[in-house]
Amino acid sequence: MRDQTNKWVKRTQRDYNLGFKLALVAEVEKGNYTYKQIQKAYGIQGRSTVLVWLRKYGTLDWNTPNLHHMPKSKETPAQKIKRLEKELEDEKLRNLLLNTMIDVSDKQFGTTIRKKLLSQQSKSSDRIKK
């Protein structure tokens, strides 16, 4: 930022209005960006400035130890939730596909995959109970 004499002046936290802070906090909490990505994109010099805003104005718990050192994945909690929801949906589809394949095989080829699998599971559970 330049002052009236056209010299570079370091920005201070006072330069950011509340609307700006809230907008950035919302972007991080939606999972669109990590706090470090926001910091870099907007040229925010303070290493903990955005974290202070997240703690002060955010709805997530940003006080967890080591959160400002973010895990190696650099995922925000919201990004992690989105990723895990997608993984869960993928696994549900995979499960449906495999069950459908078993049903088709049993019907078209006269196999008894599901019956064999169920009897093996019940035998192993009987062993565990004993």
pLDDT digits (tens, 9 = 90+) for 72-105: 457 788 888 998 999 999 999 999 999 999 889 8
How far is the C-alpha of 19 from the C-alpha of 53, rounded, in Å?
11
pLDDT of residue 30: 87
Which tens digits make up the pLDDT trace of 17-36?
889 999 999 988 888 888 88
Q: Per residue in 108-119, pLDDT tens?
A: 988 888 776 677
Q: How far is CA 37 from CA 86, 94, 95, 123, in A?
A: 23, 34, 36, 53
Contact predicate 34/45, CB 8 Å:
no
| Residues of the chain above pLDDT 90, percent | 15
Q: Could you tell me which of 16, 113, 30 has the C-alpha nearest to residue 79?
A: 30
